């Protein structure tokens, strides 16, 4: 530690959230910062304005909440907590080198100026505050605030840094950590203890969380709606028409027909030989379709899933990489607004240097004024997500990074463009005294859609040029028997938007919450289904402690955390209220442990059976299951009807397995294979088929 070994007068220590951020900040503030390796990690040293600097990175949370162990073991409720180094908790071991480096730097410079340069949100504020208070033993520090890791913004953030931490953010973030910990530890103990009462020889770790519970309950409610739905039959009469060689379809004008005899009568009357369709009305209406609004986190995750099938967690991780490289702004934002201070023209000028966007960016640059079409949602800390003027070398980006960078760039340009000019045409026809209608939409001027490219969803279904009074040949009359459909299952895109609408979680936590529900085997599939285990956990909570999974209680605490941030409430006040509520709710839960345990045990067993079943045997129709050979220890898919049926298929011997919920073209089930250090992939269980897909969800 060459700088620390010298006199520490005139020393500034800058704390960052991640190593990449340390590299960007050091590179922005110094021409040639010196990289100092230590314990397999590193920090940076340099001089600026005659002053010495050290930029030392954390790696996310270096301090974590833990329980205070007592004689009660797994008793609940418990609220005795302590902060410990994150490396002391399972899964956090990798952070020890960063903790030790941070400890050494801060201990060796007790009189240095310290600046927190973690992400400017509640999580980043908690990371910085815990380092300052629990490692450095300080009450406060300076604060850099930025939304991009570009050189210009980092220099400005340094020069205009606040002299103190934003304690509103800190207190709100600490409140969230305590609340989530109280819910997580107590509900894990309650559910697991109940399940263990029902089966002393087995052990199933069950858990839920303050936001996970209501989210799972929302998904389960949709599942119950689908199951309870009774389809109602109806009929539709369509006429196949032709005009100047162009075929199109017109539908019965009064819509769905609920009586089959009436539908058949209409069909028969319209099907008589020589029947013509007379054009009675042609209405054309031009309208403008406004540009989209800038991306916030939820919108970006939803569209990423719709276009690329990247899970919300994957999307956030990919865009975080682009942010750390300085290519895009901070990806955790509720805002749909782009303030002029970000420098519209500078960004567009930079984008024009990339061949893929040159023509479009130059077209925008010629406009006298750049005014973005903004949404209503705001964020006090960050603007909407946008590309920066420090454009990346796209040749060095991964496919996923290229995809999301392209989507962000095109959305950014589209919000400054003109509205699209569209035309809607509605044509009405008389066929044997019955009214039929056809509608069409066409784009007259692309406007913003030209900039959005493949991400623009403008419906194009142009009708032929029709004139009132002309007669068209009726080519076909079709009677279509249909049924009303149940509510659609949630996708990862729609559930994120529903969580946002219901104020469940935050922009930063929703993706993780959804991923946790998948990881705990509470939900499955691209169109989300609640598993038997998810059903069991949700059902017992709804029956015995409904407030635990209520949206109202979750929303109440979200509002109170906002009040803590604004100074309207104290952290201790909110936490005391939470303790009282949990104590009351868990008392009723504890009284019914035996009954709850039986229901949970049944759910666990059903979930295990469900997880082991990988489809139907192609030979006898029995269940295919994952079996581990007692003789060799190897796993394979075999028929549950063994020894009567000896059908079997080999499996990879490494990596976790899960049903893919899909069938291969060959008719056999697909499986998900989770390998360490690689993305999950799909494969057919039939080795001679080798059917595979590229991604898991």
Domain ranges across the chain: 2-165, 203-227+492-605, 233-291+420-483, 297-414, 613-693
Mean pLDDT across 426-439: 96
Lowest mean pLDDT among 156-165, 416-425, 625-634: 625-634
Position 204 pLDDT exceeds 80: no
Q: Which of 126, 120, 174, 133 is nearest to 564 (CA)?
A: 174
Q: 239-263 burial, b if ≥16 CB within 10 A, otherwise e? A: bebebeeeebebbbeeeebeeeeeb
CA–CA distance, 30 with 169 (Å, rounded to integer): 30
The residue behind tokens 């009586």 is 259
pLDDT band at 690 (very low <50, low <70, confident <90, very high): low
Alpha helix segments (H runs only) across 331-398: 344-351, 358-365
CA 330 → CA 322, 508, 579, distances in Å?
9, 11, 34
Q: For this structure, is 330 an active site residue?
A: yes
Residue 8, pLDDT above cutoff 50: no
**Distances in whole angstroms, Cα of residue 549 to Cα of each of 132, 183, 220:** 36, 11, 11
Q: Under 8 Å CB-to-CB from 688, ≥6 apart: which residues?
A: none
Report d(CA 561, CA 547) in Å as an integer: 19
pTM score above 0.95: no
Mean pLDDT of the chain: 90
For the purposes of burial, counting CB atoms within 10 Å of the CB of 688, is it exposed (0-12), middle (13-18) or buried (19 or more)?
A: exposed
Report the candidate in 455, 173, 165 with the shortest Cα–Cα distance to residue 308: 455
Supply the pLDDT for residue 201. 52
Give residue 605's pLDDT.
Answer: 80
Give the mean pLDDT of 518-538: 91
- pLDDT band at 630, cuts 50/70/90? confident
The topology (CATH level 3) of 297-414 is Topoisomerase I; domain 4 (1.10.290)
Selection from 355, 304, 361 nearest residue 695 by Cα: 304
Separation of alpha carbons 52 and 560, rounded Å: 42
Q: What is the dihedral of CA 332, 336, 337, 342, to 10 degrees?
A: 40
Q: What is the dihedral of CA 527, 531, 535, 541, to 10 degrees?
A: -90
CA 162 to chain centre: 32
Determine the pLDDT at residue 694.
40
How far is 148 from 155, CA to CA, in rounded Å? 11
Least-confidence region, from 212-216, 367-371, 633-637: 633-637
Please state which of the ranges 142-156, 422-436, 654-668 shows the lowest mean pLDDT: 654-668
Confidence band, pLDDT 50/70/90 cuts, at residue 679: low
What pLDDT sits at residue 683?
78
User: What CATH fold (topology level) applies to the domain 2-165?
Assistant: Rossmann fold (3.40.50)
Evaluate whether 194 touches 603 at the Cβ level (below 8 Å): no
Residue 6 is predicted with a pLDDT of 44
- Determine contact, residues 185/193, Cβ cutoff 8 Å: no
Candidates 330, 357, 405, 522; catalytic one: 330
CB 489 within 8 A of CB 529: yes
Distance CA(189)–CA(205), nearest Å, equals: 9
CA distance 78 to 582: 10
Say which residue, 600 or 98, is predicted with more confidence: 98
In this structure, what are the phi and psi dihedrals at residue 660, rounded to the nearest 5 degrees?
Answer: -90, -15
Mean pLDDT within 381-390: 96
Q: pLDDT-based confidence at 203, cuts 50/70/90?
A: low
Domain 203-227+492-605 has CATH 1.10.460.10: yes
Residue 252 has pLDDT above 50, yes or no: yes
Helix axes 212-228 and 532-544, enclosed angle (nearest 10): 100
CA distances from residue 245 to 163, 248, 276, 394, 631 in whole angstroms, order as listed: 75, 10, 15, 47, 70
Between CA 62 and CA 87 the distance in angstroms is 7
Q: Is the pLDDT of residue 10 over 80?
A: yes
- Count, residues in the chain: 697
- Cα pseudo-dihedral 483, 487, 491, 494, rounded to 10: 130
- What are the respective helix, strand and coil percentages of the chain, to the nearest 5? 40, 25, 35
For residue 150, give Cα distances in angstroms to 105, 324, 392, 472, 490.
Answer: 26, 9, 11, 63, 38
Query: Range with the lowest mean pLDDT among 164-178, 399-413, 432-446, 523-537?
Result: 523-537
Neighbouring CB atoms inside 10 A of 663's CB total 14
List all residues 6 or more positions away from 42 whose beta carbon is below 8 Å from its beta carbon: 19, 35, 36, 57
pLDDT at 382: 95
* CATH superfamily of this structure's domain 233-291+420-483: Topoisomerase I, domain 3 (2.70.20.10)
- Which position has the higher pLDDT, 21 or 661? 21
Looking at 97-106, 409-418, 453-462, 564-573, which range is the least confident one?
Answer: 453-462
Give the per-residue pLDDT at 692: 46
Q: Is the pLDDT of residue 675 over 90?
A: no
Share of the chain above pLDDT 70, in %: 95
Per-residue pLDDT, 422:
96
Q: Is the CB of residue 15 less than 8 Å from the CB of residue 126?
A: no
Residue 695 has pLDDT above 70, yes or no: no
pLDDT at 5 over 50: no
For residues 262 and 243, what is the distance between their CA atoms, to the nearest angstrom?
Answer: 28
């Amino acid at each position: 530690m060459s700088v620390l070994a010298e006199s520490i007068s005139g020393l500034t220590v800058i704390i960052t959230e991640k190593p990449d951020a340390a590299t960007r900040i050091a590179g922005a503030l110094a021409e040639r910062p010196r990289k100092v390796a230590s314990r397999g990690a590193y920090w940076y040293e340099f001089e600026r304005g005659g002053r010495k600097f050290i930029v030392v990175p954390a790696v996310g949370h270096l301090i974590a909440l833990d329980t205070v162990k007592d004689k009660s073991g797994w008793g609940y409720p418990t609220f005795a907590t302590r902060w410990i180094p994150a490396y002391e908790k399972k899964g956090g071991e990798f952070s020890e080198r960063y903790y030790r480096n941070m400890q050494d730097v801060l201990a060796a410079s007790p009189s240095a100026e310290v600046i927190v340069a973690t992400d400017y949100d509640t999580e980043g504020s908690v990371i910085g505050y815990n380092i300052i208070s629990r490692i450095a033993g300080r009450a406060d520090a300076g604060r850099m605030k930025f939304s991009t890791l570009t050189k210009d913004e980092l220099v400005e953030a340094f020069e205009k840094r606040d002299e103190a931490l934003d304690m509103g953010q800190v207190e709100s973030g600490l409140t969230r950590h305590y609340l989530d910990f109280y819910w997580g530890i107590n509900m894990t103990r309650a559910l697991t203890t109940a399940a263990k009462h029902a089966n002393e020889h087995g052990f199933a770790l069950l858990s839920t969380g303050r936001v996970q519970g209501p989210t799972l309950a929302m998904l389960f409610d949709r599942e119950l709606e689908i199951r309870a739905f009774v389809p109602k039959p109806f009929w539709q009469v369509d006429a196949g028409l032709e005009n100047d060689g162009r075929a199109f379809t017109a539908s019965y004008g009064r819509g769905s027909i609920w009586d089959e005899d009436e539908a058949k009568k209409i069909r028969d009357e319209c099907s008589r030989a020589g029947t013509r369709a007379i054009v009675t009305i042609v209405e054309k209406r031009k309208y403008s379709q406004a540009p989209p609004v800038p991306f916030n986190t939820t919108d970006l995750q939803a569209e990423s899933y719709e276009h690329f099938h990247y899970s919300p967690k994957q999307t956030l991780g990919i865009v975080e990489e682009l942010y750390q490289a300085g290519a895009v702004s901070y990806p955790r934002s509720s805002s749909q607004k782009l303030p002029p201070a970000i420098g519209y023209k500078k960004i567009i000028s930079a984008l024009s240097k990339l061949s893929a966007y040159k023509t479009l960016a130059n077209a925008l640059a010629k406009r006298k004024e750049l005014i973005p079409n903004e949404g209503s949602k705001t964020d006090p800390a960050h603007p909407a997500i946008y590309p920066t003027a420090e454009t990346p070398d796209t040749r060095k980006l991964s496919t996923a990074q290229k995809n999301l960078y392209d989507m962000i760039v095109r959305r950014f340009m589209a919000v400054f463009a003109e509205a699209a000019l569209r035309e809607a045409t509605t044509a009405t026809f008389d066929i044997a005294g019955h009214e039929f209608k056809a509608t069409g939409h066409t784009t007259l001027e692309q406007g913003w859609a030209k900039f959005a490219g493949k991400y623009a969803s403008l419906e194009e279904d142009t009708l032929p040029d029709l004139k009132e009074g002309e007669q068209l040949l009726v080519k076909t009359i079709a009677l279509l028997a249909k049924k009303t459909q149940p509510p659609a299952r949630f996708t990862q895109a729609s559930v994120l938007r529903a969580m946002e609408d219901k104020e469940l979680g935050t922009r930063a936590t929703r993706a993780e919450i959804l991923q946790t529900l998948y990881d705990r085997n509470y939900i499955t599939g691209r169109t989300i289904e609640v598993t038997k285990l998810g059903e069991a956990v949700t059902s017992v909570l709804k029956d015995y402690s409904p407030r635990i999974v209520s949206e109202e209680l979750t929303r109440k605490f979200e509002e109170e955390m906002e009040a803590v941030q604004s100074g309207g409430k104290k952290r201790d006040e909110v936490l005391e209220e939470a303790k009282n509520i949990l104590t009351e709710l868990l008392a009723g839960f504890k009284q019914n442990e035996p009954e709850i345990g039986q229901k949970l045990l049944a759910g666990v067993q059903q979930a295990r059976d469900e997880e082991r079943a990988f489809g139907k045997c192609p030979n006898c129709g029995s269940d295919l299951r994952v079996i581990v050979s007692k003789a060799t220890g190897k796993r394979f898919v075999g028929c549950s009807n063994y020894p009567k049926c000896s059908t079997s298929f080999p499996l990879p011997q490494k990596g976790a397995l899960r049903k893919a919920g899909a069938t291969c073209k060959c008719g056999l089930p697909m499986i998900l294979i989770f390998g360490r250090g690689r993305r999950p992939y799909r494969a057919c269980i039939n080795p001679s088929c080798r059917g595979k897909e590229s991604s898991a969800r």
